[in-house]
Amino acid sequence: MKSLLTFLVPTLLLLYILTGCGEEKVEKNFIRPVRSMEVQSFDAIGKLSFPGRAQASREVNLSFRVTGPLIVRAVDVGAEVKRGDLIAQIDPRDYEVSLRDVQGQLAKSKATRVRAKKDYERLVRIRKQDAGAVSEAMLDKASDNVESAKAEVKSLQASEDSAKDRLEYASLKAPFDGTIVATFVENFQHVSAQQKIVRLLDDSRIEMVVNIPESLIGSAKYIRTVSVVFDTHPDIVIKATIKEIGTEASQSTRTFPVTLSMEQPADFKILAGMAGKTVTVEADFPDSNEKAALEIPLSATFSLADDGTTRVWIVDPEKKIVHQQEVTIGSLTDNGITILSGLAPGDIIVTAGVHYLKEGQQILLSLPEGE
């Protein structure tokens, strides 16, 4: 037993030491991946071009709200329609029969209500002439009959409205002016509620979504107009305005979607799917200081407990290491914080995980998915 212990103890100690050294080596050689961005001034947005793709301002797949055999499909691909034009028609006969049935029940119920009201009024007159001729119970029952008849009429009126709606839903009409760009069913086919019948597109106005880097999205609110060209007609410049600025960045590219809106040009027709790009961005900055300001995500900043300064991690792109840089912060913005000094356009900074880095640490710059 003693000889066995003499062998096991040194062996276990050796394994422990080797394991500990291995962990230390892994930790020492660990290269931390980080998310980063290039610092840009507000006015840099006017010097860059952003690609995008045209889309219609409105596009919808039209469907019926009722079921039945299709007897009319009035349009084909490419048809121009106006609001209210007939697109397709389901055989309405079953819905017409249902409406007539409800209307017949409603007429009968209204007649019952009239009789019940007359009976009640007659009992009231008799009781006024001879209080003992009509009991309280008889009067209460006649009153209940009137209320019951009223409720029946009200219920059947609701059923009539519903039957009228179903009959109306058997006709599919265009909700706005546009062009039919796709059909999904053939005539005389039995269709279900919510089944796609045609796709209607309104291309009287065109939209284009461009993706703005998070380093520049803060200046998007100052944009007045944007000039756009499409690949098919590179010599024609179209003026556009900003319709919407996205408030959530893509997790993969760290860009924000900005929707541009423009009228159809007179020289050619922009079709949905056409590729284009911005060529000029005109912005109205409130003052020269704002124009020259730098904006970064708030997550890129951190403070040291001992001196209370605000700092960021600047990336050395060649050596792939980080260094602390003290900065002077300005005001908070919708998308981050402005930097008054300490950074310059073109600096690459870490934007996430800043509390897990050390001076001179080697890092791996994360790339957007697909690169």
Residue 29 has pLDDT above 70, yes or no: no
Query: Does residue 79 form part of some domain?
Result: yes
How far, in Å, CA of 197 to CA of 116, rounded?
A: 49
Please tell me whether residues 75 and 107 are part of one structural domain.
no
Query: Does residue 122 form part of some domain?
Result: yes
User: Could you tell me if 357 and 322 are in contact, meaning their C-beta atoms sit under 8 angstroms apart?
Assistant: yes
User: Could you tell me if 242 and 258 are in contact, meaning their C-beta atoms sit under 8 angstroms apart?
Assistant: yes
Please tell me whether residues 98 and 125 are part of one structural domain.
yes
- 324 pLDDT tier (thresholds 50, 70, 90): very high
Please tell me whether residues 147 and 157 are part of one structural domain.
yes
To 5 degrees, how large is the angle CA 361–CA 363–CA 365?
A: 155
Please tell me whether residues 76 and 188 are part of one structural domain.
yes
pLDDT digits (tens, 9 = 90+) for 158-168: 999 999 999 99
Query: Does residue 325 form part of some domain?
Result: yes
The mean per-residue pLDDT over the stretch 88-114 comes to: 96
How far, in Å, CA of 195 to CA of 24, rounded?
A: 62
How far, in Å, CA of 285 to CA of 344, rounded?
A: 19
The mean per-residue pLDDT over the stretch 121-147 comes to: 89
Query: Does residue 99 form part of some domain?
Result: yes
- By three-state DSSP, how is residue 177 classified? coil
Please tell me whether residues 251 and 224 are part of one structural domain.
yes
Share of the chain above pLDDT 90, in %: 49
- 22 pLDDT tier (thresholds 50, 70, 90): very low
pTM for the full model? 0.61
- 192 pLDDT tier (thresholds 50, 70, 90): very high
Please tell me whether residues 219 and 286 are part of one structural domain.
yes
Please tell me whether residues 283 and 306 are part of one structural domain.
no
Residue 23 has pLDDT above 50, yes or no: no
The mean per-residue pLDDT over the stretch 310-328 comes to: 90
Please tell me whether residues 298 and 360 are part of one structural domain.
yes
Q: Mean pLDDT over all residues of the chain?
A: 85
Bridge partners of 70, per DSSP, are 90
Domain that holds residue 342: 32-41+293-365
Share of the chain above pLDDT 70, in %: 87
CATH number at residue 179: 2.40.50.100
- 287 pLDDT tier (thresholds 50, 70, 90): low
Q: Which of 28-32, 108-112, 299-303 has the lowest mean pLDDT?
A: 28-32
| pLDDT of the residue at 14 | 52
Helical spans, DSSP H, in the chain: 2-28, 93-129, 136-169, 288-291
User: Could you tell me if 242 and 254 are in contact, meaning their C-beta atoms sit under 8 angstroms apart?
Assistant: no
CATH number at residue 316: 2.40.420.20
Query: Does residue 12 form part of some domain?
Result: no
How far, in Å, CA of 283 to CA of 332, rounded?
A: 20
More reliable by pLDDT, 238 or 38: 238
Please tell me whether residues 180 and 273 are part of one structural domain.
no
pLDDT digits (tens, 9 = 90+) for 213-255: 877 777 787 788 899 999 999 999 999 999 998 888 787 777 8
| pLDDT of the residue at 340 | 84
How far, in Å, CA of 187 to CA of 75, rounded?
A: 11
Query: Does residue 3 form part of some domain?
Result: no
Please tell me whether residues 297 and 287 are part of one structural domain.
no
Residue 309 has pLDDT above 70, yes or no: yes
What the block records as the tokens of 297 is 């995500």
The mean per-residue pLDDT over the stretch 304-326 comes to: 87
| pLDDT of the residue at 282 | 81
Q: How many domains does the chain have?
A: 4
Of the candidates 330, 255, 248, 323, the residue with the CA atom closest to the CA atom of residue 295: 330
Please tell me whether residues 299 and 358 are part of one structural domain.
yes
Query: Does residue 137 form part of some domain?
Result: yes
- 275 pLDDT tier (thresholds 50, 70, 90): very high
- 368 pLDDT tier (thresholds 50, 70, 90): very low
How far, in Å, CA of 228 to CA of 235, rounded?
A: 10
Residue 284 has pLDDT above 70, yes or no: yes
DSSP structure class, residue 215: T
Please tell me whether residues 207 and 285 are part of one structural domain.
yes
How far, in Å, CA of 202 to CA of 179, rounded?
A: 6
| pLDDT of the residue at 12 | 52
Residue 189 has pLDDT above 80, yes or no: yes
Query: Does residue 110 form part of some domain?
Result: yes
155: left (phi over 0), alpha (psi -120 to 50) or beta: alpha
What the block records as the tokens of 197 is 């019948």
